[in-house]
């Protein structure tokens, strides 16, 4: 069995380790650089600080920086958003220079200049229109002696006094990003919701119990801090296995569930409250599409609104797409027209079992029958209903009459499933083998799609349906055979676990 690991759904971070020497003067932050709340000062916008992994002195400095450039502490426990409560003034060191030399000087003051994203490092001097004020890093520049020799040299060359002045910089709600706001508001030490699934103009969150008292505030912050988001919703129950949708409550915003999304250069429109859509499956949709070749046949048993079917049709495949949910069926038809593939996709509104025993069986009899022309294309069956798809595999038992024309023409199944097992690949294959009553090794592969929850994986097992399963007469021969011997895996359970740990 081939096992593929693809780190979908995980962020890859590149950590840069920097050495940082802290002098005596740098380790003592002067009391002059203090935080003052509700003080009047010009507005300068602050977006966020970068998270860095570095040596201990650097971490200590980042912790102090987090305290200085973070929301006021008295917003803790806020459940009704009060934007004015986030006003905060910090005192920043500045250097006064003539405006005509600012650009030249800034190239030499990269170390000393304030590096906070979103803050203008150069501002007008309110007392002298011919001068400018350069914002300096309050953790590097405390006094005139804080400049390095090279910096003092360029200041001297440009006839700039190293005299440090103070500037009161006012931070407001607009200057903090969502993660900083929620970390300051929610109970200390609790998980902070800063991520969500974006579905067009909708932010879809899965809040935990400790976050529910703050749910309306969280929804409002998500809308405030994410341009284009006008509605925030929270999932309040598990996915319904019949129609693959779930109940949602509106946290904040205009209640408009009709949305439009763009995925892999295709456009999809639907009512998010009535159909299934997961933007985290974008990579998986592309992966399956890449396996297909022009002329191939695709049967999409649980097609949803078309994320597998439409790209396949655009690739000049013959597509049969089905979904039991009447709303999904409606939007599948709509999206086929929207993407101009309605003449290449045959759409059905049937139960998955009826679809397999009806349209799929009929087409397979033509594709694999003795009267069919010699063909080189493949037949693929996608079964993306992870909670129950494996149960539908029993339909393939003795589905076709006649004799197989060749093993290379047999349909290839891509079946999705969840697993909480310590070795999910082995678990999924064993589930499939239990339903089919036959060993799939070595003719199967397992691909990790994404991590759904702690200790819960979504996987796709791909295999070619054995003739002994698909054809009636072959099934009779199988009954007279001895049980297949235990199969060997090309990768051990330990190897799968090690690969998962290394990449994750």
Q: Is residue 309 part of a domain?
A: yes
243 and 110 assigned to the same domain: no
pLDDT average, residue stretch 91-119: 89
Q: Which of 164-178, 237-251, 280-294, 403-417 has the lowest mean pLDDT?
A: 237-251
Instruction: Render pLDDT for 202-232 as a digit per residue (tens, 0 to 9).
Output: 999 989 889 999 999 999 999 999 999 999 9
404 and 365 inside one domain: yes
Q: Are residues 397 and 288 in the same domain?
A: yes
Has residue 58 been placed in a domain?
A: no
pTM comes to: 0.72
Residue 218 maps to a domain? yes
- pLDDT of 474 reads 64
Separation CA 133–CA 126 (nearest Å):
9
Q: How far apart are CA 348 and CA 323, in angstroms?
A: 7
Same domain assignment for residues 451 and 389: yes
What pLDDT does residue 375 have? 65
On whether 237 is known to bind a ligand per the annotation, the reply is: no
Q: Is 324 annotated as a binding residue?
A: yes
pLDDT band at 235 (very low <50, low <70, confident <90, very high): confident
* 486 confidence band (pLDDT: 50, 70, 90): very low
Domain final residue, candidates 153, 171, 189: 171
Question: Does 227 reside within a domain?
Answer: yes
- What CATH number does residue 213 fall under? 3.30.300.110
DSSP 421-469: SSSHHHHHHHHHHHHHTS--TTSEEEEEEEEEETTEEEEEEEEEPPHHH
Asked if residue 268 and residue 405 are part of one domain, the reply reads yes
* Residue 363 and residue 405 in one domain: yes
Question: Residue 164: its pLDDT value, please?
Answer: 93
Distance, CA of 138 to CA of 257 (rounded, Å): 47
Specify the pLDDT at position 405. 73
Q: Tell me: do 246 and 291 sit in the same domain.
A: no
81 lies in some domain: no
Cα angle 146, 151, 154; round to 5: 145
127 plus 246 within the same structural domain? no
136 marked ligand binding residue = no
Q: Is 285 among the annotated ligand-binding positions? A: yes
Q: How far apart are CA 234 and CA 251, in angstroms?
A: 7
> So what's the pLDDT on residue 69?
81
Same domain? 96 vs 154: yes
Residues 6+ apart with CB under 8 A from 453: none
Domain range for 306 is 263-470
Same-domain status, 306 and 245: no
499: left (phi over 0), alpha (psi -120 to 50) or beta: alpha
pLDDT of 59 over the 90 cut = no
Lowest mean pLDDT among 135-144, 303-312, 391-400, 429-438: 135-144
Residue 21 confidence (pLDDT) above 90: no
Residue 162 and residue 183 share a domain: no
Domain membership of residue 250 (yes or no) is yes
* Total number of domains in the chain: 3
Instruction: Give percent of the chain with pLDDT exceeding 70.
Output: 77
Q: What is the pLDDT of residue 68?
A: 81
- Annotated binding-site residue? 209: no
Residue 297 makes CB contacts below 8 A (sequence gap 6+) with 317, 318, 319, 320, 363, 367, 377, 378, 379, 380
pLDDT greater than 70 at residue 11: no
What percentage of the chain reaches a pLDDT higher than 90? 63
What pLDDT is recorded for position 371?
Answer: 57
pLDDT averaged over every residue in the chain: 82
Q: Which residue did the predictor score with more confidence, 455 or 11?
A: 455
- Asked if residues 418 and 458 have their Cβ atoms less than 8 Å apart, the reply is yes
Residues 97 and 233 in one domain: no
pLDDT-derived band at 238 (thresholds 50, 70, 90) equals: low
Task: Categorize the per-residue pLDDT at 66 as very low, low, confident or very high, splitting at 50, 70 and 90.
Answer: low
Indicate if the alpha-carbon torsion angle 76, 80, 82, 83 is positive or negative: positive
Find the CATH number of the domain harbouring 155.
3.30.70
The strand pair at 197-199 and 202-205 is best described as antiparallel
Is 240 annotated for ligand binding? no
| Lowest-confidence region among 287-301, 359-373, 453-467 | 359-373
Give me the residues paired with residue 5 across strands. Answer: 448
How do beta strands 456-464 and 444-453 pair? Answer: antiparallel
Q: Is the pLDDT of residue 16 over 60?
A: no
């Amino acid at each position: 069995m081939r096992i593929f690991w693809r780190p979908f759904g995980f962020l890859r971070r590149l950590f840069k380790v920097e050495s940082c020497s802290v002098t005596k003067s740098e380790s003592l932050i002067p009391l002059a650089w203090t935080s003052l709340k509700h003080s009047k000062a010009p507005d300068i916008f602050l977006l966020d600080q970068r998270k860095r992994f570095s040596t201990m002195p650097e971490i200590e400095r980042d912790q102090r920086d987090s305290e200085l450039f973070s929301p006021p502490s008295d917003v803790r426990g806020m459940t009704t958003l009060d934007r004015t409560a986030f006003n905060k003034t910090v005192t920043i060191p500045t250097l006064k220079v003539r405006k005509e030399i600012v650009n030249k000087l800034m190239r030499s003051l990269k170390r000393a200049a304030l590096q906070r994203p979103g803050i203008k490092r150069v501002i007008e001097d309110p007392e002298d229109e011919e001068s400018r004020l350069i914002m300096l890093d309050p953790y590097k520049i405390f006094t005139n002696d804080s400049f390095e020799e090279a910096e003092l040299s360029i200041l001297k060359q440009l006839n700039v006094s190293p005299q440090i002045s103070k500037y009161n910089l006012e931070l407001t709600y607009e200057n903090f990003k969502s993660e900083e706001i929620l970390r300051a508001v929610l109970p200390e030490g609790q998980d902070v919701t800063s991520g969500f699934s974006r579905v067009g103009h909708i932010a879809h969150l899965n809040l935990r119990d400790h976050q529910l008292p703050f749910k309306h505030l969280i929804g409002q912050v998500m809308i405030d801090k994410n341009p284009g988001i006008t509605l925030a919703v929270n999932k309040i129950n598990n996915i319904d296995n019949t129609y693959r949708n779930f109940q949602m409550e509106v946290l904040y915003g205009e209640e408009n569930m009709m949305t439009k999304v763009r995925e892999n250069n295709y456009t999809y429109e639907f009512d998010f409250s009535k159909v299934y859509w997961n933007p985290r499956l974008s990579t998986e949709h592309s992966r399956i599409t890449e396996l297909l070749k022009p002329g191939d046949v695709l049967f999409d048993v649980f097609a949803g609104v078309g994320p597998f079917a439409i790209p396949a049709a655009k690739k000049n495949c013959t597509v049969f797409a089905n979904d039991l949910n009447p709303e999904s069926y409606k939007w599948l038809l709509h999206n086929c027209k929207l993407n101009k593939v309605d003449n290449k996709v045959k759409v059905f509104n049937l139960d998955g079992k009826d679809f397999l025993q009806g349209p799929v069986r009929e087409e397979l009899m033509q594709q694999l029958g003795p009267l069919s022309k010699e063909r080189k294309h493949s037949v693929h069956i996608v079964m993306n209903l992870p909670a129950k798809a494996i149960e539908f595999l029993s339909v393939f038992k003795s589905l076709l009459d006649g004799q197989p024309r060749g093993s290379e023409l047999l349909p290839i199944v891509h079946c999705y499933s969840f697993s909480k097992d310590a070795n999910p690949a082995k678990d999924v294959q064993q589930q499939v083998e239990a339903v089919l009553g036959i060993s799939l090794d070595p003719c199967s592969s397992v691909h990790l799609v994404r991590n759904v929850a702690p200790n819960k994986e979504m996987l796709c097992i791909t295999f070619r349906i054995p003739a002994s399963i698909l054809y009636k007469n072959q099934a009779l021969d199988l009954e007279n055979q001895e049980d297949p011997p235990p199969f060997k895996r090309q990768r051990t359970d330990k190897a799968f676990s090690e690969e998962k740990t290394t990449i994750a």
